[in-house]
Structures are given as C-alpha cells and as structure tokens.
A and B are shown apart, each in its own frame.
Chain A
Amino acid sequence: MSVQYGKVISLILLERFGPVVEKVGAYLFKYGTTPLLYIKKSTNLPLSKVKESLCILIKYRLVTFQANRNENLANYTLQHDRILLMLRYPKYINLIKKKFGNECEMIVEEILQRSYWTASEVIMKVIERLKKDHNKVVTILSLREKFLTLLRAQYLGRLPYSQDDKPVPTLVITEIDHNTPPNIDPKQISLVQSNKATVESLPDNGIYWTINFDRFHQDMRDKLIVNAFTKRFDENGGEFVRLLLQQMYIRTTPWAEVSNPVPIVEIRDIVRKQATHQHLLAFFDQYVNVLEQDSTNLIRKAGDASGGSFQIYLKETFTQFAWETVEQIVLEKFDSKAARIFRLVKSKQYIEPDQIQQLAMIPAKEAKRISYQLLEENFLQVQELKKSSSNGPNKCFTLFYVDLEQIVRMILELCYKTLFNIMTRKNHERFVHKRIIDKKQRVDTIIMGMRAQGAAEEQLADIEEMITPPEREILQKIELTMKKLNSVELEIDETIFLIQMYLVYK
C-alpha cells in the first residue's frame, strides 16, 4: 500500500471504467472502508453517480461491502489487489487456451469480461461467438462438458449470494454450493436461442459463476517452478518437478509451505505411462539423486519407505527465486562486479568492507564505491558496531548485510512505479497523436461501411489514400511503441507475480 500503488490502481480504473469510477475508487483506496455518504461528500459527485460507480465496482468484485453497526448502512471496501489482477487477464486467458483449448478460452474470456454469469448464458454466448467469428458449430452438450471441466478443475467458482432479506445483505457461500454443478438444460437453451423462451426460464437462472483467481495463480506458480527447474537442470528435471507438484496436490493443500512426502514409485509409474520422457525414465534414479543433492536443497528426501519419498520445500523455493531475481536486478542495474559484491555479502551475512575487496577480487577503491552505491540504493544495509568510548580512541566497525524482504518490497514498489510510468506513457502517446489516431479510426469506419455497401476497390483505395505516407509512418511507429509497452507491461507483471509469491510464503 503506497502512493505509487494507488496511482497505478487509479490508472487501471480510469482506463477500464472511466473518470467517475476512478474517483470513487481512488477515494476508497485513500480512506479505506467508508459508507456511501462519506464518498459522496468527499468526491463531490452526485449521489446517483456514486451509487452507479459502486454498483459497477461491486459487480466486478472490486469493492466489497459490509453492514455497519446499525445494519441499515453499508461500509464499502476497495479490493485493491483484485484491481491489479485486471492486468493479468490476458495471461489467464492464455493459460486456459493452452490447457483446455479455444472453447474454454472463450468461456473464461466471457466470464472475465462480465465478472460473473450463469452457465447457460455463457454457453449461449460462446456458441453465438463461435458461429460468428470462426464459422464453427458446436453443440450445447459439448460446451456443457467443457464448462463442467472448468468447474471441476476449480477454475470457476460459485459467486457468493445473499440468503436473508436485510437492508445490507451478507453474501455467503457453502462448500456444497461450490461442488454442485449447475443444472444446464440443453433443450431449454435451444428454446431461448430461438427466442421461444425467456432467459428467466432457464433452470440455472440466478446461479452465477465467477473466476477463481487462486486456482490460476496456483497454475502460474507451478509453471514458474517447472520453468526454473528446467532452466537449472534440463527438460527431464523440469518434468520430474512438474509431476512431483502434480502428485503433491493429492496429499497437500495447494498453498502449504512444504509438500507432504510423495512416494517416488508413483512418479516413476506416471513417467512410464506417459512415455514422453524416455530419458527421464531410463535415468530416473539418477535424476532423483541429482535433484536431491543440488546445493539449493529444495527437494529433499523424507523417508525410505516404499522406495523413498520426497518433499518439495515451496517456501524455500520462492525464497531462492527471490534471491536470484534480486541478484539479477543488481546485475542489470549496476554491473557484474556489484552483483558479485551483493552475493558475497549475502553469503557472508555480515562482512567488513576490507574483506569485500579481498574476496571479490575488486580493487579497493572500486569495491568501496560499488558497495556504497549499493548502500545508497538500499540494496545493502550497514550495521555499525561501536566499542564503548569511555577511554581511548573510538573504534567503530562497519558491517554490510542484506535484508532480502526489504529489498523485495522496494523492488515491488519499483514495479508499480514502472507500471504507472508505462501506462502514463501509453496515454501520453495516444494523446500526442490523437489527431492521427482519430483520423485513422474515421477512415477505417468509412471503409468498413463502404465495403458493407459493396463499393468498388478503386473507391476504397481512394479513401485509404486519405492517410498520407508520413502519417502512415507515424501510425506504424505508434503501433510498434504500443506493442512494446504492452509486452513490457506483461513482463513486469511476471516480476510482480514472483515477488508476490515470495511474500505469500513469507
């Protein structure tokens, strides 16, 4: 929670919901939980507007409410972490696409766009879209199967609902609700599709489903771990860890710090059945050995029963990842010498400046400069030890050390700042070239309209020439910049995700 974070959140709200909602959101971010009239008073917006914004925010589950003590008034709280997740939507969609294919991707996309929806309506919408965009016809039954798959894999969850009739309802959800699949009636859906019945007549009307972000994060976390192990060892090592994580879920809660022991025989059986990684199967024991004996010690043997069982230490894994990330950042931000000093201080915990230059093999002056530069940028900390100076010369030792958590939080701040800067830059580019972008849009709409009317190619070319070559060049340049900024935005989100994972396990 910082000023920078607030700014990013404001920008996201502004980009997606407009200035009014942004004002309400920013106010809630700044002042925390507040009732309606306070928001109205401080934002100077008409009551209807405030109500509308709150409705939108509540619909997208960005604001939650709770009854005040007198039970007639609600207090509103901004769920700021959810807002930040909006930047990650493309990643969620991509993840589902890779794992379950196009139809599931569309289901998730539709639900993400609306925040929640009933199963039948999503299915209807997806059928319609598939028909329109891809000219593909799918049956309601097959889509229902897809929807239920997503549900079973817990990518979707039931939206909490109110049971009692109070002025400020409390939203509840039970375990049973999560696990009861919706009643999807293909017959009724086809009736609604052909406008013979109303939407209200669907059997699952009022039962809303929403995205379970936690499940997505779990997948992303696993992918991160597998990728890291693949990078450090090889593909087979990565595959082993993937299976280890997969087997872990059977026995362990997803966010436990240490997995329960997984028998090695199980993993071997899966590898044998899969028959995709022959090398892993052939040298299975060796791989287990190598992974276990690695100096980072993230996978450990838990016992010898049934051919040995292994545990993966997730908390330590992410601590290790966070360390490496910070080291890489030092490397890129400063240079390899700074990274060397940083790692030296890390490995020695507390170290004197003299020792740094000796062990890191860096000239005294440079070592001093770098270490104090790192200190200035808060990557290193200094601990001073003063000997009591009752008599004799005042002796003072300076020791360098690293405080990982503090650095990680600092980097997280920097990530938010970078995000803010990138979004501001995007808006700025758009603002500066507004005229050309608008013109391009106008031309595009005209061309589309004419094409629909069946205009000749010559006419179309004429209109297209309304954009002069220099303008076209600028447009290309803007497009390139935007593309870059967008991809960078996603990259930063990856760093944020990693850091958040570290902080979750912290």
Chain B
Amino acid sequence: MNEATSSNGEGMNNEERLLELAKNKPEGISNEQIKQCMPNLLLEELAIIINKCLKNGSLELFKTKDKLLYKYKDSSKKNIVRGSDNEEKIVYKIIEEAGNKGIWIRDIRFKSNLNMTQLNKVLKSLETKKIIKAVKSVSASKKKVYMLYDLEADSSVTGGAWYQDQDFESEFVDVLSQQCHRYLRQKWDDANNMGGGPLLARNRSYATANDVHKFISELGISKVSLSVDDIESILYTVVLDNNAERIVASNGSFLYRAVNKFMSTPGLVKTTCGICPIANRCADTGLINPQAF
C-alpha cells in the first residue's frame, strides 16, 4: 500500500518531470535524452508514462530520420477536443497548424482526406462548439478561411485597420488623409508665422509620423487604434496627392512636410471641353458638336 502510493507519487513525479523536459525543448526530445535526464527511471515505467501522455494528448510523437521524438502539446487547447471524434481531432489539428493566417476549406479537404459532406459536418460542429471560426478574407470576398476561435486574424486576412467587415473603408481613409494634410499645413503655417527666415521655417515644418500619430489619436476620429505604420501609409497618400513631400531623416525614418504646387489649375480644364468626358467623340457634325451644348 505504502509502496504503491510512493510508486504512484513517483510516477506522477516522473510524468511531470518528463512534461517539464518536453516543455523546455519545443523541437522535441528523443528517448536517449529522456534517459540522460532521468537515469533512474525504468524503461517499462517510461513506456507507461509516455503512452499515458500520448493518449491524453499532452505529448505528440514525431518521427524524424528514424528517430522517435516526443513533443509537448498545450493541454489547455487539447481540452476542447476532448469528447470529439477522430475526424474532428484531425481537422482541428490541421486548422491549428494554419495559425492566424487561417486555412481554406479545400486545403483542409486535401490534407484530411475527408469527403466534402463529412468535412462540412465536422466544421459545423466545431464552429458551434466555438472551437474554430470562419473569417472572410479581404483578398477574395467569397473565400472563407478557418482558424481557431481565440486567434486574432492576421492583417493579411482582415486587411488591417482599413477594413471593416471585409469592406475597405475609403471614407475613413479620406478623412484621415485630410486630417494629416491639415496637420502638416498647420505646422507649415505656424512655422512661417514664427518668422526667422525661410530655412528655419522649412526645418520647423517637418513632422514625423509619430507626431501625426499623436495628433490623430488626440483628435479621436478613429474608433480603431492606429499604429504608426498605418499613419505612414496614410501620409504616403498625402504625398501622392502632391500636398506634401517626404524626405529621409538622418536616422532612417521619414519626415513629412506640406508643400505648394508649382502650377495653378491649367486653363484647359477651366473650359467645358477640358473636362468633357465625351470630348473625343466631339466633331463639327453629329450629335456631339460645339454648337449644341
């Protein structure tokens, strides 16, 4: 009795030690390594412990180059799969491997070798159990990818801050772009009003993306939190609109500054013909002609 409890306690101890060992080596441990670390453990006992761990899923078995490797697996996740059948386990594993990028249903089918109806059933049951979720990808509107329920989808799938429910929020981008331009323009005006010569004014009017980020955050126009990188890409659109210029600062980051254009609106587009969408179909005869407008 006493012996039994002690051996039992030892067994527990050994199991914990083994798992600890496996945890420290995420790439896996081999039989030899286990022996080195736990020399007083009998091979039979080890076999029992490993079998037990493999059964409840806290260890995984891998085979590389004719060597058996044991890998630790987080048991908190595994708990969800408890009570599921083998198909669900396999599908779960495939989805888990895909990480936060998600995996397409066709790829699951190829990897799991399940047929379509069966797979659909499995996916549905996993979805209702809130183990996995389906996320619509922005790159292809009809393509759904599956990933674990508690994962945050990658920005390549959701499109980052600029997407809401797979729709690009162009108005949001426009407003931000306007505000960024306004900030730069304000900075430029302030710098000019301070006086002290054009060089000083120019140097004062440069703003980093961090400055603009702070300004936008304080404005509170954005519901989602924007990163500095997001602001960089917004500022780039301001540069593309020819309202600002971008230079590289000495530390490698970008500096932005509002600039004026050289040219005012050319005379051509002040005329009706300059902006007429059907100007190239216009002639002195026919329905579209200068006499008829």
Contact surface of A with B, Cβ cutoff 8 Å: 7, 228-229, 231-234, 236-237, 282-283, 286-287, 289-290, 295-296, 320-321, 324-325, 327-329, 332-333, 336, 339-340, 343-344, 347, 359-364, 366, 411, 414-415, 417-418, 420-422, 424-425, 428, 488, 490-495, 498
B242 at the interface (CB under 8 A from A): yes
Q: Is the CB of B273 within 8 A of A325?
A: no
Q: Given A328-B265, A495-B268, are A361 and B273 also a contact pair (CB < 8 Å)?
A: no
Q: Provide the B266-293 mask, 1 if CB < 8 A to any CB of A, else 0.
A: 1111110111010100101000011101
Q: Is the CB of B266 within 8 A of A290?
A: no
Q: Is the CB of B198 within 8 A of A417?
A: no
Q: Is the CB of A290 within 8 A of B199?
A: yes
Q: Is the CB of B198 within 8 A of A494?
A: no
Cα of A283 to Cα of B195 in the assembled complex, Å:
11
Q: Is the CB of A361 within 8 A of B233?
A: yes
Q: Is the CB of A289 within 8 A of B199?
A: yes
Q: Is the CB of A339 within 8 A of B241?
A: yes
Hey, which chain B residues are within 8 Å of A418, CB to CB?
A: 268, 271, 273-274, 279
What are 30 inter-chain pairs, A to B, with CB distance below 8 A? A232-B260, A232-B261, A234-B198, A283-B198, A295-B247, A321-B262, A324-B242, A324-B262, A324-B263, A325-B266, A328-B263, A332-B269, A333-B277, A336-B241, A343-B240, A347-B240, A359-B236, A362-B168, A411-B268, A414-B274, A414-B279, A417-B273, A418-B271, A418-B274, A420-B290, A422-B290, A425-B290, A425-B293, A491-B267, A491-B271
B220 at the interface (CB under 8 A from A): no
Hey, which chain B residues are within 8 Å of A324, CB to CB?
A: 242, 261-263
**When the two chains form the complex, which single residue of A7, A327, A488 contacts B271, counting CB atoms closer than 8 Å?**
A488
Chain B: which residue is nearest A364 at the CB level?
B168
Hey, which chain A residues are within 8 Å of B279, CB to CB?
A: 414, 417-418
Q: Is the CB of A332 within 8 A of B262?
A: no
Q: Given A321-B262, A332-B269, A361-B162, are A428 and B291 also a contact pair (CB < 8 Å)?
A: yes
Chain A: which residue is nearest B264 at the CB level?
A231
Max chain B C-beta neighbours (<10 A), residue from A295, A328, A420:
A328
Max chain A C-beta neighbours (<10 A), residue from B198, B236, B262, B264:
B262
Output the least CB separation between B225 and chain A (Å).
Answer: 18
B197 at the interface (CB under 8 A from A): yes
Output the least CB separation between B155 and chain A (Å).
Answer: 12
Q: Is the CB of A333 within 8 A of B266?
A: no
Output the least CB separation between B286 and chain A (Å).
Answer: 13
Q: Is the CB of A282 within 8 A of B233?
A: no
Output the least CB separation between B203 and chain A (Å).
Answer: 10
**When the two chains form the complex, which single residue of A333, A339, A361 contacts B173, counting CB atoms closer than 8 Å?**
A361
**When the two chains form the complex, which single residue of B167, B268, B282 contacts A415, counting CB atoms closer than 8 Å?**
B268
